[in-house]
Amino acid sequence: MTPLDVDRFAESAAAYVHIPFCSSVCPYCDFAVVAGRDDMAARYVAAVRAEIERSEPWRSLDAVYFGGGTPSHVDTGLLVSILETLDARHGIAAQAEISLEANPEDFVVGRARELRSAGFNRVSFGAQSFDPGVLSSLGRKHGPEHVSASVVAARTAEFANVSVDLIYGTPEETDTSWEQSLQLAVDQAVTHMSCYALTVERGTTLGREVAEGAPGPDPDVQARRYDQASLFLESAGLERYEVSNWSRPGYECRYNLVVWAQGEYEAYGNGAHGFRRGVRYRNHRRLDAYIDRIEAGTSARAGEDAVTGWDAELDRLFVGFRRSAGVSEGPGTDALRASDEGRNLIEAGVLTFDDGRVNVRKPLFTDAVHRSVLSLTPLSS
């Protein structure tokens, strides 16, 4: 995929649907999720459908992403009703990517076939690791064998695009076990992989444990794990197209490409974030607050921020620098090249300016590039 092809995703339309229900909450999770509230699923989905129906009709959606939570934890019929409402309100393009996240332990052949028949054509499994000890430390309910079985179920149901997520940097992990997880994931013949560093978030069980003295992730070890993943996956034929994502050619996540191209996307459900008409907005995070507001006929939005002028240019760099294709040069990259921080990043080989594009050549330093971008001011004319 050429840089120009990547930039064209800014012209696509997408939607995110949040499904907060889980069988349990993992100790590291900081998302808007709930466990033990399955009795609320039908009422919640009715609220999501009402939110969609109240939104202004838009153009056909090129990508729809069901995230969570665990969308596969919810009855297929409820998920289908949301898809039908999206199609009725906005339209869903004939060749649209329709993704859902799933946990390996509950994705069996029968369920996979139901979802595929309903129109879902991409599935992303939260495998996190193939090491039983690491899975236990992460609070996961599945074993390595469940991941393999879930991928087989997806293939049996004719899901063409199958992704696996891994988390690296837990204290229980070793270089060897991490490479084994990478190898076992590749052995599943998946078309897409995401690798994320374990992050300690305030307010989570893991955050409290680390604050009380439990071992946390080591940044230097995580950097080594990232380098391991990059070398291993690229040698296996998966190309890095974003700082944490690799895929076989043509299997990049379309929804994410829209987001990173500064494209527009609607967002529905509690805690969901969207971007339309130069405004980034977010919904109320708490499940009950979200449902109550929708049922009362009021907006689910908890806040919004206009992204215009110079802020829009910085936003373009902030999201675009996540991509291996980088960004096209413009006022923001001119200011970055002229800044002390930018010059340091160029001298260190982190940033490169080449043929009208600017790229982050050392992905581990993407956060440092982001910090530099946020400090930029326009060059005087």
Sequence-distant (6+) residues with CB within 8 A of 360 are 243, 321, 326, 350, 351, 366, 369
Percentage of the chain exceeding pLDDT 70: 100
Crossing angle (nearest 10°) for helices 175-187 and 144-156: 20
Question: Residue 276's closest CA among 7, 5, 8, 15?
Answer: 15
d(CA 218, CA 197): 10
pLDDT at 3: 83
Region 115-122 average pLDDT: 96
Domains of the chain: 3-260 (3.20.20.70), 309-374 (no CATH)
Model confidence pTM above 0.85: yes
Buried b / exposed e over 120-146, threshold 16 CB at 10 Å, is: bbbbbbbbbbbbeebbebbebebebeb
Asked if residue 380 has pLDDT above 80, the reply is no
Residue-wise pLDDT for 356-370, tens only, equals 999 999 999 999 999
pLDDT-derived band at 106 (thresholds 50, 70, 90) equals confident
Asked if residue 1 has pLDDT above 90, the reply is no
d(CA 378, CA 335): 6
Percentage of the chain exceeding pLDDT 90: 97
* Mean pLDDT taken over the chain: 95
pLDDT-derived band at 381 (thresholds 50, 70, 90) equals low
pLDDT at 162: 97
Region 176-200 average pLDDT: 95
pLDDT-derived band at 237 (thresholds 50, 70, 90) equals very high
Residue-wise pLDDT for 277-298, tens only, equals 999 999 999 999 999 999 999 9
d(CA 135, CA 173): 10
Q: Higher-confidence residue: 356 or 1?
A: 356
Residue-wise pLDDT for 107-116, tens only, equals 999 999 999 9
pLDDT at 4: 78
Contact between 172 and 226 under an 8 Å Cβ cutoff? The reply is: no
pLDDT-derived band at 206 (thresholds 50, 70, 90) equals very high
Region 1-27 average pLDDT: 93
Region 206-216 average pLDDT: 94
Residue-wise pLDDT for 28-80, tens only, equals 999 999 999 999 999 999 999 999 999 999 999 999 999 999 999 999 999 99
